[in-house]
A = this chain, B = another copy of it.
Amino acid sequence: MSVIKVAILGFGTVGEGVYKTIHSHAQELEGVLGSKVEVAAVLIRNKQKKRNIDEDVLITSDFNEILSLPQLDVVVEAIVDKEPTFTFLKQAIRRGSHIITANKEMFAHHGNELLELAESHKVSVGFEATVAGGIPVIQTLRQLLNVNRVGTVQGILNGTSNFILTEMREKKQSFAAALRLAQEKGYAEADPTNDVEGFDAFYKTMILSRIAFGKEPNWQNVEREGITSITRELIETAEKLGLRFKHIASISKIGSQINAAVKPTLVGKSHPFYGVEGVENAVNVHSDIVGRITLQGPGAGMFPTASAVIEDLVYVCQNQLSNKNFTNITEACDGEKKGNEKELWLIQGLSKNDNNPLITWVAQATDETAIIQASREEIEKLINQQKATCYFQIIGEYEKEIKNKEVTLAVL
């Protein structure tokens, strides 16, 4: 029987998960691929550290040793940072190996170059694990895209932020306390910037945009806001109104223009993201034939991410992954739309006495906050004029919930 030789770069959470899963599911892999899958090498930084790796596996901190292996079918990359990862993967492709990556930052920056290089070397690139961990969102999008035209994609793409927002709401904690807990549980890094400032979600959003629309917006034009401005008080106010804060990425295509934003948003009970709590991720795809589909599941963690990598492993070995969705991506597009449609907002600091005919007052929520209906343009004017301090969009069918009396709006 033939053997598929795999190298794993990095032996952190994801790398170790992939290693363990290749062992624990050896029989399934052999069944589906008709070949035995063997880990031939693991790239690590510190050779002294004790690890639970079989003796016949090459353990090295020198990537050239891996490139020199007599057989190397697939390189799985589970490191962080853009470099030297990008260089390693280019070398692996040139050597004729398929590559699979879980590194969103690197892939958001260099995905296109890798896919083009892979195309010319007749190998495949798997990147399911870069977005939403174990949820098969990239495969599902590709499948839908066979015939559907996708209009909007929304996602809760950062499990750490979602965990923090859930903790703050459920246990009435401050942002700082919830972040500490996330760090204790291993959900957040010592430097949590990437997660709580929305960078991680931003990279994933750009990857999703390329899959869904074949291109991405100009990065500079995308509104990116993290969750650090969300206070316990805001969360409590929202809760009383039947709303929850979620850190939501949204990408939509209107004509040839791509609009995208990654920021805290309010959702009502009828939105499928309302019940997505803790470290869960979710993705919502609106497309023309099928309508709205939501996928929800574990967005990170050792085994969910490993599962995504292993699925890619199956696809690249079966030559079922094409690189084609990624060819047309250099178009520069706008970021968030500057629409004139009236939308719902939770706004802080606005006085009801400040009569403005372009704004509809829906309800006073607390002394400080109110729900209003206005266009984005008007909202931004209010902020510029310092008539309001902050604002959050309410998405979903909240108006219907108000009408159906599923929420109680206490009017002061």
A304 contacts B by Cβ under 8 Å = yes
| A60 CB, min distance to chain B CBs, angstroms | 27
Give, as a whole number of angstroms, the nearest-CB distance from A24 to chain B. 8
**Contact code string A259-278 (vs B, CB < 8 Å = 1, else 0):** 00000000001111011110
A387 contacts B by Cβ under 8 Å: no
Do B147 and A32 touch across chains, with their CB atoms under 8 A apart?
yes
Q: Please name all residues of chain B whose beta carbon is closer than 8 Å to the beta carbon of A144 when the two chains form the complex.
A: 136, 307, 311
Asked if residues B304 and A290 are in contact (CB atoms below 8 Å), the reply is: yes
A298 CA / B144 CA spacing, docked (Å): 14
B-side contacts of A307, CB under 8 Å? 144, 147-148, 287, 289-290
Contact with A306, one of B136, B289, B297, B406 (Cβ below 8 angstroms) = B289
Q: Could you tell me the distance between the alpha carbons of A380 and B21 in the complex, rounded to whole angstroms? A: 41
Chain A residue total in the interface (Cβ 8 A): 48
How many copies of this chain sit in the oligomeric assembly?
Answer: 2
| B134 x A139 contact (CB < 8 A) | no
Q: Give Cα A109 to B146, complex, Å.
A: 30
Q: Is A290 in contact with B303, judged by CB distance below 8 angstroms?
A: yes
| A128 and chain B: residue at smallest CB distance | B143
User: What residues on B are CB-neighbors of A310 within 8 Å?
Assistant: 146-147, 289
Q: List 5 A-B contacts (CB under 8 A).
A: A21-B147, A134-B290, A134-B293, A139-B143, A147-B307
The interface of chain A, by Cβ under 8 A from chain B, is 21, 25, 28-29, 32, 134-136, 139-140, 143-144, 146-149, 170, 269-272, 274-277, 287, 289-298, 301, 303-304, 306-308, 310-311, 314, 320, 404, 406
